[in-house]
Structure 1
Amino acid sequence: MWNIAVKNERTTEDIALGIRRRVFEHAMRNNGGYLSQACSSAEQLAWLYNEELNLGAPTLPMIPKPFEGVPHADNPDYHTGAGYNGPFEPEYDRLFIAPAHYALVAYATLIETGRMAAEGLEMFNKDGSSVEMIGAEHSPGMEVHNGTLGIGLSTAAGLAWARKRKGEKGRVWVYMSDGEVQEGQTWEAIQCCAHHRIDNVKAIMDVNRQQCDGAMDSVMEVGDIKTKMENFGAVVVEVDAHNVNDMREAAKTKHDGKPLIILANSNPFHAMPILEERFPRLHYVRFKSEEERARMNISIADSLGVDPIDYAH
């Protein structure tokens, strides 16, 4: 059973460290993983789940069910992964995780906050599993398939608009990555929120300046994100992504009639400095040799305060 006291027993910083340790162990055992996303986003996701979000107890099994097919009228077994964030009740918040490639970090967050069993991570990227490598709508913690195409904020805005009209108290949060500002729909969503005064939606964006093909500016320069977002109608606050108190204070910012977007400036090799060797190719770290794997194992373990991983078995 999920224990609500988990939110009060551990600090957000401790949970962030636990997230990084789980992702590190997974990457070592599987000869690769989304290490950089754990470096940049751990405090953000830990803060959301441990402090900021008002969520009910999970409604799905601690060990995730297998993939039960796509939604249609003749498939009563279909489920989304949103049940790990609690029930759809008017008083509870909702969370959309827009960058689906952060799924490994999101699963680690669910485990560290007592919402999913550690065994669930052993199902990662296995045939027939709902614990997808690139999170889908049936994956733990996910409600819709956002991918990395910039639709997360639009999805959140639509739900927030409906909740506001229905008088529901629960807020809508969206977790984003900065690569999404290269998508036009992100800007349309901000403009829509401002026009319709959808101010029960908040977003936090991991600004790590990295994407699949390398450093963002080498793919498409995005310029001054804060000023652009403000011009489109958002209230924007910039914070240090690794300073939890910064995020706490930013979330209190008044934003009447406008969406609030927190730009969390992060380091893609925070707590794992050896990853800087791979800059700017950090999206998915697959080890180039056994020598590199062993060297990174020792270095990252030392940085995280754990023993090197025994991945020989």
Structure 2
Amino acid sequence: MKPDQPPVDHNIGRKHFCPTRMRRTILEMAYAGSTVHIGCAFSIVELISVLYRNYLRYPENNPDAEGRDYLVLSKGHGVMAQYACMHELGWISDEQIKGYFADGSELKGLSDSRVRGLEVTSGSLGHGFSVGVGIAMGLKRRGTDQKVYAILGDGELNEGAVWEGVLVAAHHDLDNLMLIVDQNGFQAMGSTEEILKLGDLDDKFQSFGFQTAEVDGHDEVEIDTAISKLWAERTGKPKALVARTVKGKGVPFMESDNRWHYTRLTEDTFAQAVEALKTSRDQL
């Protein structure tokens, strides 16, 4: 397979990774486990859906396949969105979803490499991307056509380790690496604009030697087109996709309300959120 070609079709189809259904799965997990980080999982649903549906290669649907591509969820607190995709693939059972965060559950609130299908242990922000850079460097030296996708939050870009990784990726011409920024405008304790202004991210990544694109992070067609174009243009540079997103996307009373970074669902708010999803443009 040529490096600029999309992966083989695993017969997953568009019916899988439906954003509304995945958000419902996230709500079910968060409610069952009385846990947090709903908003930051909702903001990456379309991004991660497109990756799993159209780009990530898992020969024979095996998350441990030697020739697989790698998804590094550097913003590890958004892991419920990845769990929802893994549920779609059959890697996580209904029982595991219902038992999320219960005593003895394998599924943690942060990405954990001990869970089959998760590549890194992340959540200590800024570190996951560096692991992704290392994986990409190893694959490039081996001469494979495997790719690495690393999803970071915009608040995570406050961390100096991210920019060290960006320098290393550009210096070593890691054109098998794509950094994806979930630019939802918030971090744990406030807006990114208030806490540490990031400026024009597209310009920043270009200045560091990356090939870049900006997209609406909830428009699956736009995301797919941008990723395909970034791979097709053989510049020899690492890629950066800056995705403008809405924290809490899909449930109006959660959207751009940073309280849902740490707020737990009650019986009433769970029912209200499920009802709100029914009016989404995406159908279950």
CA radius of gyration, larger in:
1
Q: Which residue of 2 aligns with 1:160?
A: 136
Candidates 226, 232, 241, aligned match of 1:262: 241
1:49 aligns to 2:52 (yes or no) = yes
Q: Percent of aligned positions with the same letter in both sequences? A: 28
What's the TM-score once normalised by structure 2's chain length?
0.85
Task: Say which SS state the counterpart of residue 87 (structure 1) adopts.
Answer: coil
Does structure 2 conserve the Cα–Cα contact (< 8 Å) formed by 1:19 and 1:38? Answer: no
Task: Say which SS state the counterpart of residue 214 (structure 2) adopts.
Answer: strand
CA distances 1:107-145 after superposition (whole Å, capped 9, x unpaired): 111102333222222342234432111222212432221
Question: 1:220 Cα shift?
Answer: 2.0
| Amino acid in the other structure paired with 2:13 | N
What's the TM-score once normalised by structure 1's chain length?
0.78
State the distance in 1 between where 2:243 and 2:117 align. Answer: 21
Task: Say which SS state the counterpart of residue 239 (structure 1) adopts.
Answer: strand
State the distance in 1 between where 2:33 and 2:60 align. Answer: 31
| Amino acid in the other structure paired with 2:43 | S
Question: 1:34 Cα shift?
Answer: 2.7
Alignment of 1:1-313 (within 5 A): 7-8=12-13, 10=15, 12=17, 14=18, 16-59=19-62, 85-89=63-67, 92-251=68-227, 252-253=229-230, 254=233, 256-276=235-255, 279-287=257-265, 293-294=267-268, 296-305=269-278
Q: Kindly tell me: are residues 158 and 127 of structure 1, through their superposed partners in 2, closer, same or farther at Cα, counting changes over 3 Å? A: same
Q: Kindly tell me: are residues 281 and 9 of structure 1, through their superposed partners in 2, closer, same or farther at Cα, counting changes over 3 Å? A: closer
Question: 1:11 Cα shift?
Answer: 5.2
- Structure 2 regions of 5+ residues with no counterpart? 1-8, 280-284
Does structure 2 conserve the Cα–Cα contact (< 8 Å) formed by 1:234 and 1:258? Answer: yes
Cα RMSD (Å) = 2.2
CA distances 1:52-105 after superposition (whole Å, capped 9, x unpaired): 11122355xxxxxxxxxxxxxxxxxxxxxxxxx34122xx31221111111222
State the distance in 2 between where 1:27 and 1:147 align. Answer: 17
Q: Kindly tell me: are residues 29 and 157 of structure 1, through their superposed partners in 2, closer, same or farther at Cα, counting changes over 3 Å? A: closer
Q: Which residue of 2 aligns with 1:82?
A: none
State the distance in 2 between where 1:170 and 1:38 align. Answer: 26
State the distance in 2 between where 1:297 and 1:159 align. Answer: 39
Q: Kindly tell me: are residues 113 and 219 of structure 1, through their superposed partners in 2, closer, same or farther at Cα, counting changes over 3 Å? A: same
State the distance in 1 between where 2:46 and 2:75 align. Answer: 16
Question: 1:19 Cα shift?
Answer: 0.9
State the distance in 1 between where 2:133 and 2:260 align. Answer: 30
